[in-house]
Amino acid sequence: MVALFTKKGNDAGLRAAPIDGVDVLLADLDGVVYKGKGAIDHAVGALSRAAGSGVRVGYITNNASRTDAQVAEHLSSFGLSVGAADVVTSPQAAVRLLSGLVPAGSTILVVGGIGLTSEVERAGFTVTRQADDLPAAVIQGFSPDVGWKDLAQASFALHRGIPWVATNTDWTIPVEGGIAPGNGTLVSAVHTAVGILPVVGGKPEKAIFDAAVARFGAENPLFIGDRLDTDIIGANRAGMRSVQVLTGIDGPKQLLAADKDSRPTFILDDLRGLFEPYPDVQVADDLLSATAGTAVIRLRGNSLEIAKAGDSGINRLRAACSLLWASGRPIYGLSVAPELYS
């Protein structure tokens, strides 16, 4: 991860735009490109602009309920030029892990929908839904149709001591109606019954990022996400620069409180910011103030204050995050100006 701030003493100007020098742009889907059935404002235009400039654009998703072809079709409906090969899914990463755990052609108990079963079958495994078929492993992914009976069959099978692979463990998933329980809640139910944890293919684990880098031949990738606990932590684990965009799950409150493992390289309001010069955020040597653009944030006692509002809310947030992160002060011990997170 590249540090978001510099110590005071450098020229307080602008850095290059986040996309400059990037050969492969990797985008999460839910909360970055779309919410539910609708595209997020400015996302399609920005991603099309990136592709038109010669940057390879790939898509990474933890959502295991759809195939790569279905995801590509959805993205294409917004006007993006996307094929199945441009989409890396958590089922693909999970099946790669599975292949290293059981013999080729094994019978696998699948908890999930077509997005997962299609990848299991593509890899040459036989799908079952019943523990009585003595599967060699269990693989689990999200589908809105997964119910208690499916989780029970997984539990029955896992009590035999066989491998368990999960596509992802996201606690929540953004849908058109709001925020809904994700695959992590279903995995947790099985974990409670069997007392073990699965091997995980999707974000925040490295497997899905490694698969994307290998597929696209990336040398200088940039990953865009909307949540710290999966997207940004995962990119950091993979040694990849990252963008946190404020169009999905996590917003200013979460960024201000982010621990060292979940801090992005860049913070953007929306994807138009990929092409805009990024401020060289400067933190004073005494760790009591920070500047981004013309915005100045100050730590005074137990208060995080806006010393100068400056040109934009996003620069105030960038300065505040950099100051807190550099100072090591926990946010729960501070009084924070509401304008920084409202």
DSSP codes, 139-157: EE---TT--HHHHHHHHHH
Position 34 pLDDT exceeds 50: yes
Position 110 pLDDT exceeds 80: yes
Q: Which of 201, 222, 247, 160 is nearest to 1 (CA)?
A: 222
pLDDT value, residue 225: 97
67-100 pLDDT tens trace: 999 999 999 999 999 999 999 999 999 999 999 9
323-339 pLDDT tens trace: 999 999 999 889 999 99
Active-site residue 28, yes or no? yes
Position 3 pLDDT exceeds 60: no
Position 11 pLDDT exceeds 50: no
Percent of the chain with pLDDT over 90: 87
pLDDT value, residue 208: 96
The domain 90-200 belongs to what CATH superfamily? HAD superfamily/HAD-like (3.40.50.1000)
Position 7 pLDDT exceeds 50: no
Sort residue 263 into left (φ over 0), alpha (ψ -120 to 50) or beta: beta
236-120-31 Cα angle (round to 5): 40
Position 1 pLDDT exceeds 90: no
* Residue pointed to by tokens 């997962």: 116
Active-site residue 30, yes or no? yes
Q: How confident is the model at residue 4 (pLDDT cuts 50, 70, 90)?
A: low
Angle at which helix 90-99 crosses helix 206-216, to 10 degrees, equals 100
pLDDT value, residue 9: 38
Q: What are the structural domain ranges in the chain?
A: 1-16+277-342, 18-62+203-276, 90-200
Q: Is the previous residue joined to 135 through a cis bond, with omega within 30 degrees of 0?
A: no
pLDDT value, residue 173: 79
pLDDT value, residue 102: 98
DSSP codes, 163-218: -EEES---SEEEETTEEEE-HHHHHHHHHHHHS---EE-STTSHHHHHHHHHHHT-
Percent of the chain with pLDDT over 70: 96
pLDDT value, residue 12: 45
18-62+203-276 shares its CATH topology with 90-200:
yes
pLDDT averaged over the chain?
A: 93
70-73-78 Cα angle (round to 5): 135
For the domain covering 18-62+203-276, report its CATH number.
3.40.50.1000
- Active-site entry in 20, 28, 86, 229: 28
Of 9-13, 121-125, 220-224, least confident by mean pLDDT is: 9-13
139-188 pLDDT tens trace: 999 999 999 999 999 999 999 999 999 999 988 877 778 888 999 999 99
- Active-site entry in 30, 68, 170, 231: 30
DSSP codes, 281-325: EEE-TTSSEEEETTEEEEEETTEEEEEE--S-HHHHHHHHHHHHH
174-207 pLDDT tens trace: 777 888 899 999 999 999 999 999 999 999 999 9
272-300 pLDDT tens trace: 999 999 999 999 999 999 999 999 999 99
Q: Which of 126, 147, 146, 138 is nearest to 198 (CA)?
A: 138
Pairing of strands 126-128, 137-140: unpaired
DSSP state of 328: T
What's the per-residue H, E or C state across 79-137? Answer: CCCCCHHHEEEHHHHHHHHHHCCCCCCCEEEEECCHHHHHHHHHCCCEEECCHHHCCCE
Radius of gyration over every alpha carbon of the chain, rounded to an integer in angstroms: 21
How far from 30 is each of 34, 68, 118, 129, 225, CA to CA, in Å?
5, 14, 21, 28, 9
Q: How confident is the model at residue 14 (pLDDT cuts 50, 70, 90)?
A: low
